[in-house]
Structure 1
Amino acid sequence: MERYLDEGSAGEVYGGQNVWIGRSVAIKRLQPQHQDNATITERFLLEGRIGGRVDHPNIVQTLDMAREPSDGSFFIVQELLHGMGLRALLEQSPRLSYRDALDLLVPLMGAMVAVHQQGIVHRDIKPENIFLMDSSMGHRIPKLLDFGIAKVRLNRTLTQVGSMLGTVDYMAPEQIEGRKDVDRRADVWAVGVLAYELLTGTCPFTAPSPAVVLTRIIAHHPPSVHELVPEIPPALSIVVERALRKDRQERHESIQQMLEEIIRWSVSSANESDRAIPARHRTSLPAVLEQKVRTGFSSVAPASIRASLMSAHRSGQFRMPEGLRELAAFMDGTRAVRSEEEEPSHEEIVCDVDYDVRSAVQEPVPASATVPCPAGEFGDCSSTLPPDELTEAHEDWEVDELVAEAYSCLRKNAFSEAY
């Protein structure tokens, strides 16, 4: 131990050095007067165990735990963080731009997915429990701290029935009610409150006293973040609003589902800066979402993507710009040549209400399918090529890239229509 750093309600934090490997560490020590308090001691140890159990770049890492032989006090050895707390940042700049907010929220939500996968509910997500670590590359890495009141599935919980654990401003209605069955949707709520605060500069249920805050959480419906800050994309506003539903059955089922909605919006945005957000945080994303980012959220094979475009083209119920009509016709085997002046359009595709693009991608395409030319529309030029052979027949079209672009437009429109 080298120097004193900080003190909490039950512990003291010191800076130290691992003399074997020369690494600077933080040593959190439980104050001796709390050694005989079983609840405080168990919460202290729980924090250390979770930090060693959950491996994620945005969770503070526990390196060791032990007991001091001289006085029997417990201590936890963790990675030493240099930087500032999120609360300190918000005191300097209460409202962040939505992109800066997402640069904090996306990795933190990735961390929460890892926590939930271990059967752990944090129950106290707030700016005071988030640290912004200065990295060697010059940017800040958010770190989730303090699992002292976490609820661990299948283990004995530290919560008694009817008690409230958490910080009032960020507590879900079921926590206020002291329900025994608090689950990960309480963390969904807290992330929603945190997102609301970062995006608007104020908590959604702020009030002069804790009692009034509790009442507002139960009964008050705050204005949307888009109403308060019009430049915030409506899709993000909808995600936050859903996270703050009073009935947890109406919230996102999980942080991962909430994060996926944000990533889907991001990758489909017309703004390049929005689309770059997931790539900056790939190491923080759960593997299933990282895979979806790389594939553009397409979970279907190229032949099925082609089937989607062909089905839409043949249905006659799908209105699209001429460039994408040309692509669909080409995929249908009804056009094989594109003139130089016929460039694909980047305008947004518009669907009829009764046509579901997402169901179209499930339509199978027989391996030997032949597609006739729609009468009179493109001339007498029907093709007998199977869809999977069209790419080989017309390599100069770079079909896969065009299909990916068009299919991304289809999915973007379907996602927009859903909201």
Structure 2
Amino acid sequence: MLLGKYRVERVLGRGGMGVVVAARHVELGELYAIKFLLPNWAGDPVLRERFLREARAAARLRSEHVARVHDVGRMEGDVPYMVMEHLEGRDLKAVLREGGPLPVDQAVTYMVHVCDAMAEAHAAGIVHRDLKPANLFLTRRANGSPCVKVLDFGISKQTGPEEVDLTGTGQMFGSPLYMSPEQMARAKSADARADIWAIGGILYELLTARSPFFAANVMEVVTRVLQEEPVPPTQLRPDLPPAVDAVIWRCLRKQPADRYTSVEELAVALRGILGMAGEAGFGGAMPLPARPVMPSSPGGVSTSGIPAISAPVVHGAPSDATTSAWEKTGTKGTPGGARWPVWAGAATLAIALLLGLAWFGLRGSSSIEETPAAATSIGAATASAPVIVDPAPLPPATTSAVAPAAPEPTVSPESPPPSLPPTVSAPAAPAKGPVAPRPPATSAPNRGPSKQSRHESLF
């Protein structure tokens, strides 16, 4: 029994710094997820503050796309805890791992959900700084329709007179594969546009089953993020509508000022792709090159209820200025004024060394994990009023899950070492220039949640 009113039913996750349990309220009969630090870490004031920061950030947000926190406090021994909604489903990292690149409508809709959550967070002065597939959880609404929820605001940056930034000089928090150049250079300077960068990178990965800056080690990831352009997703997956290139290209601009000005603006562009996908029949999962052609879902995606949005309409090969600029730069750098500052060459080495040493110290190696392939179904919600787009219902969930208590080992030199490895490694060193992706496992469209053990690395 916890706190005199919660009966623990099972452990959902365990790590070096804490535990998450499923517990039922003895009076209400409701099932909750309770997260708490282990006693040996509860005395660390910085860890306690990050723990409470996550609770405060989530408690301030009302979006259905944010995992809710119902209560926070301290147990015996001054151990902090938080009571959260109990979720059934799986995170997007597991979705990718189990099947392959997602259908266009599903991947884009996931990101519309994320934009909805982050629009409210940014309006409240909260920057997540650690968006990644493992922190995006696919669950279901009460009516059975799919819903993606953003987890883990533990390293979020919050503004306001009462807020203290826990990021010290020389510290870097986040996951390198999804960190923007400015966040790598100085985490304190990261604003909402760093989250926009991460959303673009996640969308790229959902559609191609590889990170845009995938590399064999942390140092090379840093170099690619600061100095190189990723391969356009349409080169890896020709069935994608060219507008996907344009949206992702803008999200991944090296200079924050060149990206979308807000997640609301990004959501408008994403809904434009949804409309195009529906018209062109891009509703089903399509293979990467060198794989057999896979069937698309019947009828594509219904776009009823989605407001008409002007979006870049491109027929055949990309021809707009945005995509052309991407093609011209290839993987060698960014065009003209979009280039990361001249001093980035020297900064790259310094940042890479710092990130690499920190990462090596946390896990004993510096490999980066590329997510293998997966497929599933999903609904959509607008950044303001939710509008559901359901290509297919989500089958019953089989695994319970909850937001992690702290980011998968963050690249912070001063963070205590977690007991389990972070979510980044690589099968091999990448070749120079565009690299063909590893063929994904054959996927079946619209697969439902399946069992996963992501809770083992929650702390």
> What TM-score range do you get, normalising by the shorter chain?
0.5 to 0.7
| Correspondence list, 1:126-275, <5 A | 126-154=132-160, 155-267=163-275, 270-271=279-280, 273-274=300-301
Provide the residue aligned with 2:120 in structure 1. Answer: 114
Structure 2 SS opposite 1:131: strand
Provide the residue aligned with 1:5 in structure 2. Answer: 12
* 1:74 equivalent in alignment to 2:80: yes
Q: 2:125·2:159 contact (CA, 8 Å) conserved in 1?
A: yes
Counterpart of 1:33 (choices 37, 40, 49) is 40
Q: Which amino acid aligns with 1:270?
A: E
> Deviations 1:295-345 (Å, cap 9, x if unpaired)?
xxxxxxxxxxxxxxxxxxxxxxxxxxxxxxxxxxxxxxxxxxxxxxxxxxx
C-alpha distance in structure 2 between counterparts of 1:265 and 1:22, whole Å: 43
Q: 1:149·1:165 contact (CA, 8 Å) conserved in 2?
A: yes
Q: Which has the higher contact order (CA 8 A, sep 6+)?
A: 2
Provide the residue aligned with 1:22 in structure 2. Answer: 29
Provide the residue aligned with 1:52 in structure 2. Answer: 59
Q: Which amino acid aligns with 1:210?
A: V
TM-score normalised by L of structure 2: 0.59
* 1:91 equivalent in alignment to 2:189: no
Q: 1:10·1:40 contact (CA, 8 Å) conserved in 2?
A: no
C-alpha distance in structure 2 between counterparts of 1:281 and 1:156, whole Å: 37
Provide the residue aligned with 2:285 in structure 1. Answer: none
Go from structure 1 to structure 2 and tell me whether the alpha carbon gap of 1:54 and 1:102 turns closer, same or farther (over 3 Å shift). Answer: same
Distance apart, 1:40 and its partner CA = 0.8
Q: 1:266·1:275 contact (CA, 8 Å) conserved in 2?
A: no
Q: Which runs of 5+ in 2 are unaligned?
A: 1-6, 282-299, 307-377, 390-459
Go from structure 1 to structure 2 and tell me whether the alpha carbon gap of 1:284 and 1:55 turns closer, same or farther (over 3 Å shift). Answer: farther
TM-score normalised by L of structure 1: 0.65
Distance apart, 1:152 and its partner CA = 0.2
Distance apart, 1:196 and its partner CA = 0.5
Provide the residue aligned with 2:303 in structure 1. Answer: 276
Query: Which structure is higher in helix share?
Result: 1
C-alpha distance in structure 1 between counterparts of 2:380 and 2:215, whole Å: 37
Structure 2 SS opposite 1:211: helix
Q: 2:110·2:380 contact (CA, 8 Å) conserved in 1?
A: no
Structure 1 SS opposite 2:36: strand
RMSD: 2.2
Structure 2 SS opposite 1:102: helix
> Deviations 1:63-96 (Å, cap 9, x if unpaired)?
111111x322111000001111211111112311
Q: Which amino acid aligns with 1:257?
A: E
Go from structure 1 to structure 2 and tell me whether the alpha carbon gap of 1:109 and 1:65 turns closer, same or farther (over 3 Å shift). Answer: same
Q: 2:22·2:86 contact (CA, 8 Å) conserved in 1?
A: yes
Provide the residue aligned with 1:62 in structure 2. Answer: 69
C-alpha distance in structure 2 between counterparts of 1:282 and 1:229, whole Å: 23
Q: Which amino acid aligns with 1:71?
A: G
Q: 1:263·1:278 contact (CA, 8 Å) conserved in 2?
A: no
Distance apart, 1:161 and its partner CA = 2.5
Distance apart, 1:159 and its partner CA = 0.8
Q: 1:57·1:284 contact (CA, 8 Å) conserved in 2?
A: no
> Deviations 1:112-144 (Å, cap 9, x if unpaired)?
111111110000001111111244544432111
Aligned residues: 289
* Greater mean alpha carbon deviation, residues 114-123 or residues 132-141: 132-141
Go from structure 1 to structure 2 and tell me whether the alpha carbon gap of 1:9 and 1:118 turns closer, same or farther (over 3 Å shift). Answer: farther
Structure 2 SS opposite 1:71: helix
Counterpart of 2:383 (choices 282, 285, 288) is 285
Q: Which runs of 5+ in 1 are unaligned?
A: 294-419
> Deviations 1:375-417 (Å, cap 9, x if unpaired)?
xxxxxxxxxxxxxxxxxxxxxxxxxxxxxxxxxxxxxxxxxxx
Q: 2:112·2:381 contact (CA, 8 Å) conserved in 1?
A: no
C-alpha distance in structure 1 between counterparts of 2:214 and 2:11, whole Å: 34
Q: Which amino acid aligns with 1:102?
A: V
Q: Which amino acid aligns with 1:156?
A: V
Distance apart, 1:270 and its partner CA = 3.2
Q: 1:103·1:277 contact (CA, 8 Å) conserved in 2?
A: no
Structure 1 SS opposite 2:94: helix
Structure 1 SS opposite 2:33: strand
Percent same amino acid among aligned pairs?
34
Structure 1 SS opposite 2:279: coil
Distance apart, 1:104 and its partner CA = 1.4
Provide the residue aligned with 2:108 in structure 1. Answer: 102
C-alpha distance in structure 1 between counterparts of 2:98 and 2:305, whole Å: 26
Go from structure 1 to structure 2 and tell me whether the alpha carbon gap of 1:242 and 1:278 turns closer, same or farther (over 3 Å shift). Answer: farther
Q: Which amino acid aligns with 2:303?
A: A
C-alpha distance in structure 1 between counterparts of 2:126 and 2:207, whole Å: 27
Q: 1:26·1:78 contact (CA, 8 Å) conserved in 2?
A: yes
Q: 2:130·2:155 contact (CA, 8 Å) conserved in 1?
A: yes
Provide the residue aligned with 2:400 in structure 1. Answer: none
Q: Which amino acid aligns with 1:243?
A: C
Go from structure 1 to structure 2 and tell me whether the alpha carbon gap of 1:278 and 1:234 turns closer, same or farther (over 3 Å shift). Answer: farther
Distance apart, 1:271 and its partner CA = 4.3
Go from structure 1 to structure 2 and tell me whether the alpha carbon gap of 1:278 and 1:223 turns closer, same or farther (over 3 Å shift). Answer: farther
Distance apart, 1:145 and its partner CA = 0.4
Q: Which amino acid aligns with 1:115?
A: A
Q: Which amino acid aligns with 1:77?
A: V
Provide the residue aligned with 2:421 in structure 1. Answer: none
